[in-house]
Chain A
Amino acid sequence: MDLIRLKNVEKKYKNGVTAIYDLNLAIEKGSFVFVIGGSGSGKSTLIKMLYREEKPTKGQVVVGGLDVAKLKNKKVYKLRRKLGIVFQDYRLLPKLTVYENVAFALECIGEKKDIIRIKVLKALEDVGLKNKVHEYPNNLSGGEQQRVAIARAIVNDPKLLLCDEPTGNLDPEKSMEIMKVLESINKQRGTTIIMATHDKEIVNKMKKQVITLKDGHLVKFKQKGTYAE
Chain B
Amino acid sequence: MKPFRMLGRSIRDAVKSVIRNFSLSLASISCISITLIIVAVAIMASYNVQNFTREIEKDMTIVVFLDNQIEQDEIHEVEEQIKSISNVGEYTFQSRQEVKQKMQEESEIFSTVLENWEDEDSPLKDTFQVKVKNIEKIKDTAEKIQAIEKVSVVRYGEGMVDKMVTAFASIKKVTYGIVVALILVTIFLIVNTIKLTISARKREIEIMRLVGASNITIKLPFIIEGMILGVFGSVVPILITIYGYFAFYRHFDGYLYSRLIQLIEPEPFIYNVSLIVIAIGIVVGMIGSASAVKRYLKV
Contact = CB atoms under 8 A, between A and B. Distances in A.
Nearest to A79: B212
B260 interface: no
A80 B1 contact: no
Contact of A80 (B2, B203, B209): B209
A152 B213 CA distance: 14
A224 interface: no
A108 B206 contact: no
A109 B206 contact: no
Contact of B211 (A74, A78, A112, A156): A156
Contact of A91 (B3, B203, B214): B203
A81 interface: yes
Contacts of A16: none
Contact of A85 (B3, B6, B208, B210): B210
B207 A109 contact: no
A73 to B, nearest CB: 7
A77 B209 CA distance: 7
B24 to A, nearest CB: 20
B207 A110 contact: no
B5 A152 contact: no
Determine the main DSSP class of B at the interface with A: helix
A79 B215 CA distance: 13
Contacts, number: 51
B294 to A, nearest CB: 13
B299 interface: yes
Interface string B284-299: 0000000000000001
A112 B1 contact: yes
A219 interface: no
Given A91-B206, A110-B217, A105 B211 contact: yes
A77 B1 contact: no
B9 interface: yes
B55 interface: no
Nearest to B214: A77
B9 A107 contact: yes
B204 interface: yes
B203 A78 contact: no
A115 to B, nearest CB: 11
22 contacts: A51-B210, A74-B215, A77-B212, A77-B213, A79-B212, A80-B211, A81-B212, A91-B206, A91-B210, A93-B203, A104-B211, A105-B211, A108-B211, A108-B212, A108-B213, A109-B211, A109-B212, A109-B213, A109-B214, A110-B2, A110-B5, A152-B211
Interface of A: 51, 73-74, 76-81, 85, 91, 93, 104-105, 107-110, 112, 152, 156
Top 3 nearest A-B pairs (CB, nearest first) are: A80-B212, A81-B212, A108-B213
